[in-house]
Structure 1
């Protein structure tokens, strides 16, 4: 059962941006994200009524819970969606894996605690991996490189790390993750819905099976079931071991990008995926050691369903 849970979460979250790429931009990306958020919001509200957590939120809690939702489910994914369409799912997945470095660094900054050398090494390897992936394009066809797409992906990843800090604060306050996700997704849906209305975006429902399959995949599997399975996995093997799946995301995303014909298989792609996975592994290992040593900036309690 443990192997299934680990494999399911790794595969589903590793293919996150592949699904975004399959969706495409035939429908405005803001609208596609709104569909995803709305479906997931309904699912978490239903789960909230089924579980009925005993802990209720205090007034001070709403700020970090709502900010967590806006950062992790609305603002970050707006940038990541656009970055995926502008560049490639493989690049965005690799950049997003830098979250294992950026989140502990952000937590260290907030809590004014030192960052381990392992995080620095992991971050350096992550950046090197991105350059390895981009190297063939830089050498052969640099004008096709979307710098804007890369910057969008990096911005989305940074915003996600800010949301993770809010998630850590929520966890420290004892807020049930079902509460934080239900309210967070609701806030993100309202924000996206308001933006769509203000921009006078036409609601469209394309008769394209692959589009709706991607929407269902992202909302039902990537944002809901994978999160539930991850919580079960953490309860069985701990957050430390569960977190190592992040190190496999670049390999999963890179392989899938080749399969759908988005990225060409070459030595740089393979090397980039391996180096990125190694960097994530080193950073996660450093986080685990810090946590075991009494420094709580390492593995924050994961509450987010959409930051994978």
Structure 2
């Protein structure tokens, strides 16, 4: 079951970039993200109500959902979408892949969980591999003030993503399922984005084209309802640090799709990077050997 959820998350989030590109033509970024999560929340609430699986939340649960909505379904998306205007997508992918390391560190600080050496080593190896995969894109980009702003936004978005992971883990430890907490979190995220649009004067435009509506449906249903539910379920089952290795793998899926539809050419450094990413995946999920018991002397 864990393997199926893991592969599902990687495959879905590895293909959402195609839909996101179609969202950036006419409609303002915050409005597009608000539409996405409002639709996803509506679908989740409908499914939960019909199936009678909507769990009741107390004030604490609602406040954590509010924080989760702010971190996972609002601020981090605004940061990444805005950063993509100033820095290459490859650099964003590299920064985002540090979520594995941030999750391990935050779990240690806030939950007192031991940091597994293989998780840190695997995360570092995956980060190095992504750097090689995107090296031509990174090497061809000249540093500037906008680059620094983009990097800062990408890093802050990653930290928000990591915080959202820990909040979901906290909710699951309290017996709340990701379907319920995601429904509320996405609703809160959509409302906060809508409020931002109203305050900032961002127009609520909508593009009734096949490309925009189709991409919105893909991002809302597979990308949000299924993707986030599968991923956050993994956070509860595997721990935040192991689940976050998805952030290293889905750029690899995106590059393979790009090779098929956009003519991306694999190079020797990129292939080496792919090998390192796969080795990092093996390290992250390797079970530590049980300690051999020392025989007692008679």
**Coarse TM-score class (shorter-chain normalised):** 0.7 to 0.9
283 and 139 in structure 1: CA distance in 2 versus 1, 3 angstrom threshold: same
Once the 2 structures are TM-superposed, how far is the Cα of residue 73 of structure 1 from its aligned partner? 0.9
Once the 2 structures are TM-superposed, how far is the Cα of residue 148 of structure 1 from its aligned partner? 3.9
Once the 2 structures are TM-superposed, how far is the Cα of residue 137 of structure 1 from its aligned partner? 4.3
Once the 2 structures are TM-superposed, how far is the Cα of residue 129 of structure 1 from its aligned partner? 2.9
Alignment partner of 1:142: what SS? coil
Once the 2 structures are TM-superposed, how far is the Cα of residue 203 of structure 1 from its aligned partner? 1.6
Gaps of 5+ in 1: 294-308
CA distance in 2, matches of 1:204, 1:270: 42
Tell me which residue corresponds to 1:111.
Answer: 111
Structure 1 or 2, whichever has the larger Rg, is 2
Tell me which residue corresponds to 1:306.
Answer: none
Once the 2 structures are TM-superposed, how far is the Cα of residue 228 of structure 1 from its aligned partner? 5.8
Q: Does 1:276 align with 2:277?
A: yes
CA distance in 2, matches of 1:12, 1:177: 17
Alpha carbons 1:243, 1:284 under 8 Å: kept: no
244 and 166 in structure 1: CA distance in 2 versus 1, 3 angstrom threshold: closer
Alpha carbons 1:94, 1:249 under 8 Å: kept: no
CA distance in 2, matches of 1:123, 1:277: 11
Aligned positions of 1:126-145 closer than 5 A = 126-137=126-137, 139-140=139-140, 142=142
Alpha carbons 1:100, 1:284 under 8 Å: kept: no
Tell me which residue corresponds to 1:74.
Answer: 74
Aligned positions of 1:137-216 closer than 5 A = 137=137, 139-140=139-140, 142=142, 146-216=147-217
280 and 101 in structure 1: CA distance in 2 versus 1, 3 angstrom threshold: farther
What TM-score comes out, normalization by structure 2 length?
A: 0.79
Alpha carbons 1:98, 1:126 under 8 Å: kept: no
Deviations 1:175-227 (Å, cap 9, x if unpaired)?
Answer: 13222111111110110010000011112122432222221111011112345
Aligned positions of 1:249-260 closer than 5 A = 249-260=250-261
**Alignment root-mean-square deviation, CA:** 3.6
What TM-score comes out, normalization by structure 1 length?
A: 0.77
CA distance in 2, matches of 1:54, 1:24: 34
Gaps of 5+ in 2: 292-298
Alpha carbons 2:74, 2:192 under 8 Å: kept: yes
Alpha carbons 1:14, 1:252 under 8 Å: kept: yes
Give the aligned length: 287
Deviations 1:223-282 (Å, cap 9, x if unpaired)?
Answer: 123456679999xxx759x95982632320222344454965433333334323433442
Alpha carbons 2:91, 2:138 under 8 Å: kept: no
Tell me which residue corresponds to 2:41.
Answer: 41
Tell me which residue corresponds to 1:12.
Answer: 12
139 and 40 in structure 1: CA distance in 2 versus 1, 3 angstrom threshold: closer
Indicate the larger mover: 83-92 or 95-104.
83-92
Once the 2 structures are TM-superposed, how far is the Cα of residue 109 of structure 1 from its aligned partner? 1.1
209 and 268 in structure 1: CA distance in 2 versus 1, 3 angstrom threshold: farther
